[in-house]
Amino acid sequence: MRAYNFSAGPAALPTEVLQQAQAELLDFKDTGMSVMEMSHRGGVFMEVAREAERDFRELLNVPANYKVLFLQGGGKGEFSLVPLNLLRGKSRADYVNTGLWSSGAIKEAGKYCEAATIASSDDKKFTYVPPQDAWKPNKDAAFRHICTNETVHGVEYFWTPEIDDDVPLVADMSSHILSRPMDVSKYGCIYAGAQKNIGPSGLTIVIVREDLLGHAHPLTPSVFDYTQQAANDWMLNTPPTFAVYLAGLTFKWLKAQGGLSAIETKNIAKAKLLYDCIDNSGGFYRNEVAVENRSRMNVPFFLRDESLNAKFLETSLAANLAGLKGHKAIGGMRASVYNAISFEAVEALTQFMREFQQRNG
């Protein structure tokens, strides 16, 4: 029996995607081998790769003047690769700090440049997004970096910063990419590890505007040089073929769901169900994030009586609800309700939460 899996990442994949992968695992398209066992340069895999990129571009409506790269190295890898590729000879970059992942990006960027924190929500334990009029941007910054969904703190941007000084906006969208339509044209670069809302780990997607290419630091490893990877259709070295294939199946699944507007409608309904359950618990459960910044993908919550935490986790698991333990940085619980999580799964979770409260409140 498949569990209702609320893991933050690697996270649940659509069952239909796994079933299709299972059905064609041993003999992919009459080749007599699995998709993992063939050359990445052969015609069969090339078609898998090109179709995955096409579907991704179509889903997110990526403008023609942007490259899409399917790379490796994860979100954390990008914390280094963004400065290496995008500093373009400059010595400073701007960062907005909204939680654990933007803090990580700032720390890593500090190896390569002056990573200036131009706004931070650490004054309120990272429970909100600082409004843009509170930012202190630097005109000479090479780029301005935000994390549009903080996976640990459960804080999401529902607005796109306006940039009026030619400093390109860079976004870590690892945990909410493809959860709703996004205006890619507002960004210079977007990156995301795949293992939250796309597919298995091992694949990292980078979207980068073409005019920003061509200036990587000379010590950038070639396989992590956006320009070289773009020139080689991201096949400068062997891409993570199985992860690309599975991501491609997920893109088809998303298209069959009706695309990103349709999935957004579902994600709104799921998030509302869960936040309503928390808010209507009379304080038994609580979420501390400013209402307008509550993430639709990652919902951290705390029990009023923390001595019940172990029991909550134990009994939820027994009820087939997995992956609810909060990140160790903030404790408590967290339910990640990515695209692959059904409304029914969130119903099962909220029903369990109400029953748990009745028995222990």
Ligand X SMILES: *Cc1c(COP(=O)(O)O)cnc(C)c1O
Catalytic site residues?
Answer: 101, 172, 196
- How many chain residues are in contact with ligand X, going by CB under 6 A? 12
Q: How far is the CB of 312 from ligand X (least distance, A)?
A: 23
The answer to whether 249 and 20 have CB atoms below 8 angstroms apart is yes
Estimate to the nearest angstrom the gap between the alpha carbon of 186 and the chain centroid.
Answer: 18
Going from the C-alpha of 188 to that of each of 86, 207, 208, 329, the distances in angstroms are 9, 8, 6, 30
| Rounded Cα–Cα distance for residues 28 and 15 (Å) | 19
Quick one: tokens of 262? 């349709």
- Of 151, 241, 267, 339, the residue at the interface with ligand X (CB under 6 A) is 151
Contact mark string toward ligand X, 76..115, x via CB under 6 A: x------------------------x--------------
Which segment (48-56, 73-81, 208-216, 241-249) binds ligand X by CB under 6 A? 73-81
250 binds ligand X (CB under 6 A): no
202 binds ligand X (CB under 6 A): no
- Of 9, 239, 248, 326, the residue at the interface with ligand X (CB under 6 A) is 9
Q: How far is the CB of 200 from ligand X (least distance, A)?
A: 11
Q: How far is the CB of 151 from ligand X (least distance, A)?
A: 3
Quick one: tokens of 146? 């935000």
Q: Which amino acid is at 23?
A: A
- Of 154, 193, 300, 332, the residue at the interface with ligand X (CB under 6 A) is 193
Q: How far is the CB of 77 from ligand X (least distance, A)?
A: 6
The answer to whether 218 and 87 have CB atoms below 8 angstroms apart is no
Q: Which amino acid is at 298?
A: N
Contacts with ligand X by CB under 6 A lie at 9, 74-76, 101, 147, 151, 172, 174-175, 193, 196
